Structure formats: structure tokens, C-alpha cells
């Protein structure tokens, strides 16, 4: 207890001397990142702020979610952590200062600051227990990041089935079907593109439309067909069986816009060619008629 009191009392001084601010961390963040609930509890009892914000806008609840620490999350939420708090961290910075795969996976797909909530982090990293704790505390399953990513979108993208099942039960069909602001894809499109058959089944069971189009005009099924090489035959058969049981029909999808444009161009060229041929034929007929007419006149003379 003496150590915790000393750390809490001299928090700023120790942080400065240890170089933690340069790493974007505080002592509470560090304790959360390693899942040391006992130390976090002692720091809290000694007066440390459990909602401290580092220089990147990263709060302890985000750190605990990112690391998948459900017991620590429960403690933070019990003492006032906000399950709706948004992180202002740049994922490129997060990828640099920590070894969590999440940061590296999504850094190139986020424009600037992420605007992620704790639920985004837990969902994207596949921490189902942490997701359960946050949802129980009232975290918004439909919260959109700055790029329009929802927690369900991130979980479906990475194929985290256990997280998807929890989130889909708390997400409306309209939010589930919404396209993100950067790529023009829905959670189902992401699952289909990744060949995550069990996630696809879960989303379709919750009324997601596999025939719905992404911004590029492709249906979910078309995205899935493009990923078929990564799907085991048994998983594919199970998916088809599930769709049949649910009464889902795969619509014959029109070709992508680029193909349709090429076809229209070809059709226009063909139509022009036909007009030319018909025109030349008429000219030829007229010429023959003129010759015959002139011969007939000569014969009369």
C-alpha cells in the first residue's frame, strides 16, 4: 500500500522521469496494459485518477479493452469510467508504441484519429469477454468511428465470431447494413470479403441482406465469391445449407459498373456499325437502281 500511495502521490514526477509522456502513457495506463488489477486498485485507493487521458486522448478503459482485461474493465466501470468515451489516438502512433495486433491491422485503414470507443477496441481485437462487460455497462454497439466503422464492422472484418454474435444481437438491421464512410462496405461485405463463413451465417441470421450492394455495386455474395479460394469446401457447403434453411435466395447480380460501361460502349459501337452498314447498303441499292434506270432509258431511245 505504501508503494501505491507513493506512486499515486508522485504520479506526475515519476511519469516525467521515466519518459512515459514521450511514449504517450501514464502509470495507470501501464498498469492497465499489463492487467495488474491489484495495482490499479491500490492506485485508485491512493487517489490516482482512473480516467486520466494521455497525450493522444487514450484512456485506461481503452487500454484495458485493447488488451482484453474484463475484470479490470469491470473495476474501471464501477468507479466511473465512461463506456462511451472516444479515443482520439492516431492508430499509426498506437502501432508504434504497442505490440497489439489491432493497431497494426487497422492503422492503414483509418483516416487520422480513430474516434474508437472501448467497444471498438475490444471487438476489433476479438476479446469476447471484454465485449460482454462493455455491452452490459451500456456501451453503444452501433457507435461509428470517424470513418464510419462500428464495433460489429471491425469484428466481422477480422472474423471474430463470438464478438459478432454478441454485437449483432444489439445492432439494428439498418445499422448492420450501413456502409462505412471510407470503403463503402458493410459488416457483411467485410465478412464476405474475408471468407468468414460462420460470421456470414450469423449476420444473415440477424437479417443482414447478402444481396445488398456495396459502393462499388457488388453484392455480398459477389464479395464472397471473390474470396472462395480461402474457404474450405465443408465451410462453403455449411454456408449454402444455412442460406437454404433461412430461405435466402442469391440474386443474379448484374456485372460491376465498369463491365456495364464497357458493354454499353460495345453496344453503342455495334449500333453505329449497323447504321453504317445499312446506309452503305441503301447507297448501293440506289446506285444499282440508277444504273438500271439509265439503261432502260437508253433502250427506249
Q: Average pLDDT of 178-188?
A: 94
Beta bridge partners of 90: 113
Please state the three-class secondary structure of 108-164 as a single string: HHCCCECCCEHHHHHHHHCCHHHHHHHHHCCCCCCCCCCCCCCHHHHHHHHCCHHHH
Residue 250 above 60 pLDDT?
Answer: yes
Better-scored residue on pLDDT, 280 or 165: 165
Cα separation of 32 and 63, whole Å? 6
**Single pTM value for the model:** 0.74
pLDDT value for 26: 81
Cα–Cα distances in Å, from 150 out to 167, 178, 216?
10, 9, 20
Does 5 have pLDDT greater than 60?
A: no
Cα–chain center distance at 11: 38
Out of 95-99, 170-174, 218-222, 271-275, least confident range: 95-99
Confidence of residue 16 (pLDDT cuts 50, 70, 90): very low
- For residue 211, pLDDT over 90 is answered with yes
**For residue 158, what are the CA distances in angstroms to 101, 182, 195, 278, 290?**
11, 17, 10, 58, 76
- Contact (Cβ atoms closer than 8 angstroms) between residue 195 and residue 227: yes
Summary mean pLDDT of the chain: 80
Q: How far apart are the first and last CA of the chain?
A: 132
Q: Decide if 48 contacts 28 (C-beta within 8 A).
A: yes
> How confident is the model at residue 232, as a pLDDT?
94
Query: What is the pLDDT, as a whole number, of residue 271?
Result: 62
Long-range contacts formed by 251-257: CB under 8 A, 24+ apart: 251/211, 251/219, 251/221, 253/211, 253/218, 253/219, 253/221, 253/222, 254/217, 256/216, 256/217, 256/218, 257/216, 257/217
pLDDT given at position 14: 39
Please identify which residue in the block is written with the cell numbers 471510407: 182
pLDDT at 18 over 60: no
Q: Are 91 and 106 in contact (CB under 8 A)?
A: yes
User: Residue 19: is its pLDDT beyond 50?
Assistant: no
- Distances, alpha carbon 285 to alpha carbons 138, 291, 294, in Å: 82, 10, 14
More confident residue, 29 or 98: 29
Percent of residues, the chain, with pLDDT higher than 70: 66
Higher pLDDT, 53 or 233: 233
pLDDT band at residue 95 under the 50/70/90 scheme = very low
pLDDT confidence tier of residue 202, bands split at 50, 70 and 90: very high
Taking residues 90-119, report their average pLDDT.
57
pLDDT at position 53: 84
All three cell numbers of 73: 474493465
The pLDDT value recorded for residue 33 is: 86
**Residue 180 neighbours by CB distance under 10 Å:** 22
**CB-count exposure of residue 265 (10 Å: 0-12, 13-18, 19+):** exposed
Domains of the chain: 1-162 (1.25.40.20)
24 sits in which H/E element: none
Amino acid at each position: 500500500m505504501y508503494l501505491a500511495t507513493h506512486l499515486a502521490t508522485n504520479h506526475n514526477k515519476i511519469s516525467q522521469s521515466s519518459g512515459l509522456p514521450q511514449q504517450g502513457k501514464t502509470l495507470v495506463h501501464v498498469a492497465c496494459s499489463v492487467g495488474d488489477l491489484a495495482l490499479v486498485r491500490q492506485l485508485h485507493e491512493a487517489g490516482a485518477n482512473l480516467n486520466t487521458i494521455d497525450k493522444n486522448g487514450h484512456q485506461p478503459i481503452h487500454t484495458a479493452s485493447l488488451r482484453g482485461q474484463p475484470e479490470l474493465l469491470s473495476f474501471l466501470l464501477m468507479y466511473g469510467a465512461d463506456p462511451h468515451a472516444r479515443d482520439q489516438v492516431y492508430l499509426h502512433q498506437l502501432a508504434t508504441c504497442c505490440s497489439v495486433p489491432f493497431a497494426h491491422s487497422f492503422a492503414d485503414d483509418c483516416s487520422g484519429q480513430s474516434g474508437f470507443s472501448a467497444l471498438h477496441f475490444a471487438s476489433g481485437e476479438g476479446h469476447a469477454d471484454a465485449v460482454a462487460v462493455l455491452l452490459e455497462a451500456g456501451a453503444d454497439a452501433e457507435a461509428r468511428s470517424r470513418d464510419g466503422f462500428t464495433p460489429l464492422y471491425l469484428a466481422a472484418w477480422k472474423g471474430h465470431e463470438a464478438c459478432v454474435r454478441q454485437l449483432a444481437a444489439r445492432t439494428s438491421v439498418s445499422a448492420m447494413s450501413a456502409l462505412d464512410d471510407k470503403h463503402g462496405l458493410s459488416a457483411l461485405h467485410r465478412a464476405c470479403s474475408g471468407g468468414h463463413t460462420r460470421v456470414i451465417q450469423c449476420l444473415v441470421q440477424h437479417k443482414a441482406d447478402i444481396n445488398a450492394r456495396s459502393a462499388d455495386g457488388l453484392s455480398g455474395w459477389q464479395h464472397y465469391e471473390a474470396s472462395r479460394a480461402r474457404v474450405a469446401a465443408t465451410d462453403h457447403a455449411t454456408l449454402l445449407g444455412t442460406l437454404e434453411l433461412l430461405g435466402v435466395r442469391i440474386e443474379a447480380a448484374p456485372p460491376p459498373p465498369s463491365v456495364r460501361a464497357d458493354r454499353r460502349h460495345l453496344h453503342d459501337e455495334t449500333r453505329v456499325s449497323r447504321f453504317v452498314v445499312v446506309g452503305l447498303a441503301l447507297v448501293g441499292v440506289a446506285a444499282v437502281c440508277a444504273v438500271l434506270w439509265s439503261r432502260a432509258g437508253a433502250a427506249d431511245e
